[in-house]
Amino acid sequence: MSVTRRGAPWVKLSEFGVYRRRMSLTGTVGPAVVLVVLFFIYVAVHPGVLSLLQFNTLTNEATAVAIAAAGETLIVLAGGFDLSVGSVLSLINVLIATKIGTSTGSQLLMVPIALGAGAAIGAINGALVVLLRIPSIVATLAMSFFWGGVALLILSQPGGSVPLDFVNWFTGNVRGAIPAALVLLVVVVALWILVKRTRLGRAIYAVGGDPGAAAANGIRVGPTSLAAYTLGGLLYGLAGIFLTAQSASGDPNVGGPLLLSVFAAVVIGGVVFGGGRGDVVGSMIGAFILYLIADVLFALGVSSFYTNVLNGSVLLVAVLAGSLSGARQWLFSRLRPSLSAADG
């Protein structure tokens, strides 16, 4: 870094450049811009969304997927893959729906129980991958069936009931002004920013980027992956809580259809499968982009059949946009070690 003295306004400008650069490194700038543009389009075609009631609905519909995608992103960043997210959401949902009581204490108790269950499930998934060295796709596919089965054992068909208080805490408005879901999302983002700034956060990126190189730098690769799965599970727990509040009932199959949405959100958010690149915030934005596209099309009166066509196209565009910037370097760095001659 050159240590030249500059006038005060310049310092500020250059600092702004640094922050902008740091932001752009996370890959969230693109998705954020897309989200803002989409939102303006939506407001233009459907100004009613600016009312608290409709804004609340808009926030609520994407929040469960956004938080689950945040959890998935942690695992993907560390170089893993988790197909069990849908089943885990179902399991958390039926767990709460069957255990929740009407007293405030019982309802409050559900929060730590769901978070703990999510974290424990994540830790089990992670242990299969890290300790038993089962490829993450296979391990989490198996666990997807497993947790889905457990959910059916707890509640074999839709049922259970969730008290209105619980529903209102999460899907209502704080002080009658801000959707609670928005507050929840902000909390998740804030926690993520903290985690990202711990050594664990840095280690997750390093392990996902190149596990061998990370190990050579004295990073414990196994425990780092395990932590990523556990934290990811914790966020599934939170997503499950929200999902339950939103649906106000239990359904052992509620999570299944969300699996693909979660992965779509991760991809649209600029997270790269394989690990090491992307950001949790990006995936959360990705979830909102998915739902906003559907809303905009609906507001324009386009048949909902087109929604998935457009979602698929957005997915491809997102991957292409991401790959144009980094794919060549990524490929090169991946190819080199395997081709270099290891000699004794």
Partner 1 sequence: MTDVARLQVVEVSKHYGPTVALNNASFAVADGDVHALIGENGAGKSTLVKLLSGLIRPDAGEIRVAGESVRLHSPRDALGAGIATAYQELTVIPYLTVAQNLLLGREPRNRLRLVSTNRLVQQASGMLQRWELAGVSPEALVSELSLAERQQLELVRSLDRTSQVLLLDEPTAALGAQQVDWLFRQVRRLRDKGKTLVFISHRMSEVREIADKITVLRNGHEVATFAPHEASDRDVIQMMVGRDVKATLRKTRDVSSEVRLDVEDLRCEPGLKGLSFSLRAGEIVGLGALQGNGQLELFLSLFGARRAASGTIRLDGQPYKPRSPYDAIHRGLGISLVPEDRKAEGVMVDMSGLANITLPSLRALATAGVVRTPRQRRAALSAARGVNVTPQNLVKEVRALSGGNQQKIALGKWLVADTKLLLMYDPTRGVDVATKAEIFAMMQEMAEAGKSILFYSTDIEELLGVSDRIVVLYRGVKAAELSQSEMTRDRVLTAMLGVARDDSVSMPVQAPEAAL
- CA-closest candidate to residue 295, choices 70, 61, 63, 66: 61
Q: Of 108-116, 163-171, 218-226, 258-266, which part binds partner 1 (CB under 8 A)?
A: 218-226
- Site size with partner 1, rule: CB under 8 A: 41
Compare residues 181 and 272 and give the one whose CB is closer to partner 1: 272
Alpha-carbon distances of 126 from 147, 324, 334, rounded to whole Å: 14, 31, 24
Per CB under 8 A, 135 contacts partner 1: no
What six digits make up the tokens of 4?
């030249």
| Signed CA dihedral, 316, 321, 324, 330: sign only | negative
Among 44, 164, 194, 320, binds partner 1 (CB under 8 A): 194
- The verdict on 29 binding partner 1 (CB under 8 A) reads no
User: Which residues inside 74-93 make contact with partner 1, applying CB under 8 A?
Assistant: none
Minimum distance of partner 1 from residue 274's CB (angstroms): 10
Q: Does the footprint of partner 1 cover residue 198 (CB under 8 A)?
A: yes
Stretch near partner 1 under the rule CB under 8 A, chosen from 147-155, 248-256, 289-297, 330-338: 330-338
Among 4, 5, 7, 22, binds partner 1 (CB under 8 A): 22
Draw the binding track, 266-305, toward partner 1 (x: CB under 8 A; -: no contact).
Answer: ----------xx----------------------------
Q: What is the spatial distance between Cα 211 and Cα 312, in angstroms, rounded to a whole number?
A: 32
What is the signed CA dihedral for 243, 245, 249, 253, rounded to 10 degrees?
A: 0
Stretch that binds partner 1, among 32-40, 64-72, 207-215, 286-294 (CB under 8 A): 207-215
What DSSP character marks residue 132? S
Q: Which is nearer to partner 1, 194 or 320 (CB)?
A: 194
Q: Does 5 bind partner 1 (CB under 8 A)?
A: no
326 touches partner 1 by CB under 8 A: yes
* Burial classification of residue 122, based on how many CB atoms lie within 10 Å of its CB (0-12 exposed, 13-18 middle, 19 or more buried): buried
β-strand partners of 159: 250
Q: How many angstroms separate the CA atoms of 246 and 104, rounded?
A: 18
What is the nearest approach in angstroms of partner 1 to the Cβ of residue 312? 27
Nearest Cα residue to 137 out of 79, 82, 69 = 82
> Cβ atoms within 10 A of the Cβ of 68, count?
35
Would you tell me which residues interact with partner 1 (CB under 8 A)? 1-2, 18, 21-22, 25, 194, 197-199, 201-203, 205-206, 209-210, 212-220, 276-277, 326, 329-330, 333, 336-344
